Structure 1
């Protein structure tokens, strides 16, 4: 499991390095995002070249059924993203949002999502995210996101022993900036 943590840490580190991670408090809540058409520099290229290695090591620790499920999900999510079309290349991606359980309900997550969507709004761009936590659907809808595709995992898998997991692809369209109660054009 250390390879998985290292892989996630490297990806997050790339975004921190580029100023694409925001936090509240002592990392009580954090969001990371990816703007469209983000150029890769040499460090990005090296880290991205290492990712398949970590993925391969991690894959060796999975059962054949887990590998099959992962491949099924990856294919379904890619197809869901393709349904958005070329437009997705012009959208911001809200990659991750997390708040310590003891700090939830204080508005930290909402404030961080709004920071990202305000940046996207200023550029007239939509924002997309994938959420596998159905409980969060209402939270994201409150912030202006709408479900455009849903994927259900485990629904028709006889080896699946848990409740099916629903993964929602959600999009928030850009909004006009407002100052002194008047929208800007």
Structure 2
């Protein structure tokens, strides 16, 4: 499910867990508070890459390591600093003029979250953790959990519930709103194949590393992996401003989640979060790399 960095919760053991919107976060248009806006440079870079005319040294993603967790946590905070959805899910009213500062508790929880993602999910990075992607593998394609994996999932699920209980009433209500509305869309548009799909849970790039094709490369590798297995992939974006970027990588909008339109505690107007699907394309581009993910 979509969420945001400040409204954090652990990654949990199931696909529907609440954390971050799937997006390419970086340099922002401050007037939109869009921490995930894709720049023109990114779109041009990805267009060249797809057409085969991009000639710089290829970027090769690698798994995020435990030593890179501090950097990855900072990447999230910086990337989502001005993201409107992040403000919504952290309980803000939208009229604030400056982003929230991460607390020690925030950082501690993110360290735990990334430890879980590295251990139990597909978590890739570029630029030493300054750009990263977290993907949930399809349930139907996953191996049966061993005892240790079951124990890790159980512990983190309990931690998630504990942290959820500590949220404010506003945050709880907004998280439930997103869960219900996304669930309706999934039921209507993705239900038949949802357990066979890859789910892009989080895609973010530190603003200082934006414009170098990191996000597009990470997203492309996941697309290649899905194609290599004959699978679709899906995500929920934090706003329409991300649509052109995702279109470059084969994602199409199937429905939109509308948030904040009837929330009296939110003053910045409705939020539109596209639910997007990338259908299997049968491409062999970068398949050698993808098969190692």
Question: Which TM-score applies when normalising by structure 1?
Answer: 0.84
Q: 1:48 aligns with which of 157, 160, 170?
A: 157
Three-state SS of the structure 2 residue aligned to 1:147 is strand
| Structure 1: unaligned runs, 5 residues or longer | 180-185
- 4+ aligned runs moved over 6 Å, structure 1: none
In structure 1, the partner of 2:90 is: none
Q: 2:280 aligns with which of 170, 174, 181?
A: 174
Richer in strand (by share): 1
| Structure 2: unaligned runs, 5 residues or longer | 1-102, 286-293
In structure 2, the partner of 1:183 is: none
1:27 partnered with 2:129? yes
Q: 1:72 aligns with which of 177, 183, 186?
A: 177
Given that 2:164 and 2:172 are in contact with CA atoms closer than 8 Å, whether structure 1 keeps it comes out as no
Query: What CA RMSD, in Å, does the superposition of the two structures yield over aligned residues?
Result: 2.1
1:89 partnered with 2:195? yes
CA distance in 2, matches of 1:68, 1:50: 19
Question: Which TM-score applies when normalising by structure 2?
Answer: 0.55
- Report the CA distance between 1:137 and its aligned residue: 1.4
Given that 1:4 and 1:54 are in contact with CA atoms closer than 8 Å, whether structure 2 keeps it comes out as no
Given that 2:130 and 2:206 are in contact with CA atoms closer than 8 Å, whether structure 1 keeps it comes out as yes
Quickly say closer, same or farther: Cα 1:141–1:82, change in 2 above 3 A.
same
Q: Deviations over 1:126-147 (max 9, x none)?
A: 0011111322111011111011
User: Greater CA deviation, 31-40 or 136-145?
Assistant: 31-40
Three-state SS of the structure 2 residue aligned to 1:49 is helix
Q: 2:217 aligns with which of 107, 111, 120?
A: 111
Three-state SS of the structure 1 residue aligned to 2:135 is strand
